[in-house]
Amino acid sequence: MTATLAPGAAGADQEFTLSAADFARVRQLIYQRAGISLHEGKQAMVYSRLSRRLRETGQRSFTDYLGWLDRASGAQADAEWQEFVNCLTTNLTAFFREEHHFHALAQDLRERGGRPLRIWCNAASTGEEPYSLAMTAVEALGAAAPVRVLASDIDTRVLDIARRGVYPAEARGLAPERLRRHFLRGTGANAGHIRVRPELARLIEFRPFNLMNASWSALGEPFDVIFCRNVMIYFDAPTQRRVLERMHGVLQPGGLLYVGHSENFTDARDLFRLRGKTVYERL
Ligand SMILES: C[S@@+](CC[C@H](N)C(=O)[O-])C[C@H]1O[C@@H](n2cnc3c(N)ncnc32)[C@H](O)[C@@H]1O
């Protein structure tokens, strides 16, 4: 029987066939695991991101790979599920992305009069965002800033990059003064790269965390500030609502939720009130 190809899917000239049923299964699985709603028309993306997994696991088709993933159990299955998720996330980020948030945070930090602050930066991707938070804290309050940042992401591969704290020297968003103050320049084999100074890195704890997890209590004491930027755009409205309810539960009353430029949660006005440009206050 000839498999029906999903529109835009890999054709005869490509190594594997991604059928409409395979694509539908991938969409279902990534939605169940990560809450990510993959739109119709993303077949080429799925093909290019997952075909390496087929090669590495020795599976001959998407149908075989997805069936095997479903049936596998134990440590090998856990590892492959993580690879599957890592392949399908989109990790675009930059230092001081949406810079107005960092100005607002710096002002809040100065107004707090030295009271300790706990920030959760979830969907932290490759680390530029949590390091930008740490730089903001040190610039506002000095090297002994009483600020702790928990940086998390579902994608373990980007978290490894974040933990390492090594970036290309021409990374976007870093002014020369910040480069000098917060980074070490690589020499020799590391030329062209910069590394976050240890005194900045020590403010941050990196930890994998899936926003679809049930175990939010493992996050510990309530946070004063949550950065959750440019991830909810991948979730549908019911998933967004569930995550917002959970965020409400782990934020101090009056705590602030910073979201991405295209994210609008004014529907959740029973939980949060708009306090500034894409900044919400927990009720
Ligand atoms: C586009 S990046 C945003 C990075 C950063 N927050 C920013 O605004 O620059 C989206 C991130 O969300 C993460 N992500 C996707 N689904 C997630 C989930 N269910 N739980 C936690 N993180 C998730 C992805 O791995 C990715 O690193």
Q: What is the pLDDT of residues 200-209, one digit of tens each?
A: 999 999 999 9
Closest atom, ligand 1, to C-alpha of 235 = 16
In the block, which residue shows the tokens 């090594």?
Answer: 166
Give CA angle at 86 (247, 242), nearest 5°.
Answer: 20
Q: Which two tokens stand for residue 16?
A: 């594997």
- Tens of pLDDT, residue by residue over 129-178, are 999 999 999 999 999 999 999 999 999 999 999 999 999 999 999 999 99
* CB 123 near ligand 1, within 6 Å: yes
189 CA to centre of ligand 1 in angstroms: 31
pLDDT of residue 113: 82
Instruction: State yes or no: is 153 an active-site residue.
Output: yes
Tell whether pTM > 0.85: yes
Q: Does residue 135 contact residue 168 with C-beta atoms inside 8 Å? A: no
Ligand 1 touching residue 259 (CB < 6 A): no
Binning pLDDT at 50, 70 and 90, where does residue 4 land?
Answer: very low
Determine what percent of the chain is predicted with pLDDT higher than 70: 96
Cα R_g (the chain), whole angstroms: 21
Cα angle: 248, vertex 227, 85; to 5 degrees? 95
Residue 1: the pLDDT is 40
